[in-house]
Amino acid sequence: MDPATCPDWGGCLRTRRPLTEPVRRVTGLLWSMAIGTNQPIAAACDIDDVQQSWQGDSDAYRRLIERHQEHVSKIMWRFSRNIQTHEELVQDVFVEAYMSLRSYRQKAPFEHWLARIATRVGYRYWKAKERRRDTETFTLEDWELIPDEPVEEMDPGRAAGLVHRLLEKLRPRDRLVLTLRYLEGCDVAQTAQRTGWTKSMVKVQALRARKRLEDLLTQTAEEAEE
């Protein structure tokens, strides 16, 4: 995603109260994590393998898994950075996709359909964690780990971990829309497709989630400065 198209997190904060340097660095982290989305083409081999899977060909579904496992794995890494949990989520996606395979109408690329299932599985996992109150927190110690150097010089894995913990302080619904819109670079239509929400709902939810994140950033910065 082009930074010019990203939300001006800093500008929104600046209109409410002075923006501290740590907040600037966090907004930089969020921007640096933004990526663009590829537009997959409906591959004839996917259609063939889906149709053969309908007929009970296990080798055909194995080929679908092998072809799309990397894509699904990247999506699910947004939902959990725990290796064991991540592997289980990836497996859950392909199990659910197999059970729902008859619902694939071949009107869109198989990868799009699979991404929607992956999003549903990940969102369900986040909601279950929230019910168990089993969430990580973005602590003041994490805040101090944000370096003074430009974010592009940060280790990508470290930056991703900090952003992951920061967003985990939000409700699953807020976290989902921010992840899709500003980390995966989905536009409104793509986000609606992935979530099953209307476009209007995506826009409203994104605005609300951004405000909650702005409040969270400001509150954490103030606590760190006390």
Return the ∠ at Cα 118 (arms to 114 and 123), rounded to 5°: 150
d(CA 119, CA 180) in angstroms, rounded, equals 9
Question: DSSP letter at 108?
Answer: S
Q: Supply the pLDDT for residue 96.
A: 97
Q: Which residues of 89-120 are buried (b: 16+ CB within 10 A; e: fewer)?
A: bbebbbebbeeebeebeeeebbbebbbbbbbb
d(CA 103, CA 97) in angstroms, rounded, equals 9
Q: Supply the pLDDT for residue 67.
A: 94
d(CA 160, CA 181) in angstroms, rounded, equals 16
Q: Supply the pLDDT for residue 198.
A: 97
- pTM to 2 decimals? 0.75
What CA–CA distances, in Å, run from 41 to 46, 108, 156?
A: 10, 9, 29
Half-sphere exposure of 201 (CA within 13 A, CB side): 12
Q: Supply the pLDDT for residue 158.
A: 65
Alpha-helix runs per DSSP H in 133-185: 140-145, 156-167, 172-178
User: What's the average pLDDT block by block, 10 residues per block, for the chain (226 residues)?
Assistant: 43 40 54 50 81 94 95 94 95 97 90 96 94 64 55 62 80 93 90 96 94 80 62
d(CA 102, CA 226) in angstroms, rounded, equals 57
Both tokens of 193, joined, read: 């497709």
Both tokens of 210, joined, read: 């951004």
Integer Rg of the chain from CA: 19
Amino acid at 213: L
d(CA 138, CA 220) in angstroms, rounded, equals 9
d(CA 65, CA 61) in angstroms, rounded, equals 6
Please say whether the beta carbons of 60 and 46 come within 8 A.
no
CA neighbor of 211 nearest in space, from 12, 3, 4, 8 = 12
The whole-angstrom distance between residue 41's C-alpha and the CA centroid of its chain comes to 22
